[in-house]
Structure 1
Amino acid sequence: MQVHVADHPLISHKLTVLRDERTDSPTFRRLADELVTLLAYEATRDVRVEAVDVTTPVAVARGVRLSDPPPLVVPILRAGLGMLEGMQRLLPTAEVGFLGMVRNEETLEAVTYAERLPDDLTGRQCYVLDPMLATGGTLAAAIDFLVQRGADHITAITLLAAPEGIARLESELATIDVPVALVTAGLDEKLNDLGYIVPGLGDAGDRLYGVVG
């Protein structure tokens, strides 16, 4: 698995404001949206394209366009929804599927409760959106889900990652014969006893949408 920690002053600046506990939900959503667009630029370096000729006002130019089938963007509900618009801004022609997964707070294992994806993903390049790579269980389960349906190239985009989550991804995906990459804005120190990233930014879903009782 390839891991890329984006190193850019604008990314670092926006991530710093996201971490601040004083940042309210509207500001958090706006900055997360902007941050994802910057991360998407890094994550799509290997997006599939095909050669095409276009006629300019002067001559014929050789260029490229996105290949068919189009990329598939898969936000993991609910927090991944806060990353979708930023991704679509850069890939407006991409198709969107949804995967609902929640972490069992006792076992820390991921449980799938909903999905809206094509049954056959053969030959599809997928971009998975999940703000936090903490224990790694949710993201590993999501990637395995896509691979089982035929996806042959997967890039995960996160705002933050923990070393334990990366290690688990590498371990659980070791037998998957599909290229997997991780692009993240920051690699933090560790997980605490509750499975939260330290120093992290708190619960991304709650900070995006508020606490739902």
Structure 2
Amino acid sequence: MEITVVNHPLAASRLTIMRDERSDNTVFRAALADLGAMLVYEASRDLPVEHFDCRTPVAVAEGTRLQDPPIIVPVIRAGLGMIDPALSMIPDAQVGFIGLARDEKTHEPVPYLEALPEDLTGRTVFVVDPMLATGGSLLHAIRLLNGRGATDITAVCMVSAQPGVDALADSGLPVRLITACIDPGLDDNAYIVPGLGDAGDRLYGPRNIEL
């Protein structure tokens, strides 16, 4: 599996803001939006392009556009925060949705929503989720995408834990990973250490729905 850790001072500074327990929802959202755009920018580096004549006020230049914009698929709920940053980079991208809750007792993903094209054969898919912890949620999402024919899948995660990275690599699924960092492990509640806490809670406030 191809893994890209985006090692850039601006990415590191935004990640630090997100890690800081003093950052409130507003500050956290702003840092996540910035970092999300940076990671999607990197994920798009090798996308196929086509060229065309672009008339400037004085002459004709060679224009460039994406040949086939990817489909952006956030893993709800925390992944919702990465839609706007992704669309700011790729405004003509389509968006699908996969909804997964976390069972706090088993730490396993619980599916509750799936809104995707029936056939993803030949399409490029960016599945976005701020956190890659155990890998359970992301693997479930990738299996869904692969089951619909997707073989060009990029996972864009801000913070990844080594156990989740290992699970992704061992899965044999057609996926590459773009991330801002790889943290060493998980605590007893399967939270990334040092991580940044619960990304969904820090984006939107504590959950008030029990499974």
Task: State the Cα distance separating 1:104 from its structure 2 match.
Answer: 2.3
3-state secondary structure, aligned to 2:188: coil
- Structure 1: 4+ residue segments shifted above 6 A: none
Aligned-residue CA RMSD (Å): 1.5
2:96 partner letter: G
Q: Deviations over 1:150-185 (max 9, x none)?
A: 11211111110000000001112x1x3x3x211111
For residue 47 of structure 1, report the CA deviation from its aligned partner.
1.7
Identity %: 52
Q: Which residue of 2 aligns with 1:67?
A: 67
- What residue in structure 2 maps to residue 122 of structure 1? 121
- Cα deviation 1:107-147 (Å, max 9, x = unaligned): 32222210111111111101111010000011111111111
Which residue pairs with 1:145 in the alignment?
144
Distance 1:205 1:164 in 2: 20
Superposition pairs for residues 50-199 of structure 1, below 5 Å? Answer: 50-57=50-57, 59-68=59-68, 70-172=69-171, 174=172, 176=173, 178=174, 180-199=175-194
| Structure 1 residue 61: Cα displacement | 3.7
Q: One-letter code of the match for 1:90? A: M
Aligned positions, number? 208
The answer to whether 1:208 aligns with 2:207 is no
For 1:19, the aligned partner's letter is: R
Once residues 92 and 54 of structure 1 are traced to their aligned partners in structure 2, the CA distance between those partners, rounded to angstroms, is: 19
Question: TM-score, normalised on structure 1?
Answer: 0.92
| Per-residue deviation, residues 19-67 of structure 1 (Å, max 9, x unmatched) | 1111100111111001101111111112222233334455544443211
Q: Gapped runs of 5+ residues in structure 2?
A: none
Give the residue type in structure 1 aligned to 2:158: L
What is the TM-score when the length of structure 2 is the normalising length? 0.93
Match of 1:28 in 2: 28
Q: Which amino acid aligns with 1:211?
A: P
CA distance in 2, matches of 1:193, 1:19: 19
What amino acid is aligned across from residue 160 of structure 1 in structure 2? Answer: V
Aligned to 2:182, what secondary structure does the other structure show?
coil
Paired position in structure 1 for 2:9? 9
Rate the CA distance shift 1:212–1:110 in 2: closer, same or farther, 3 A.
closer
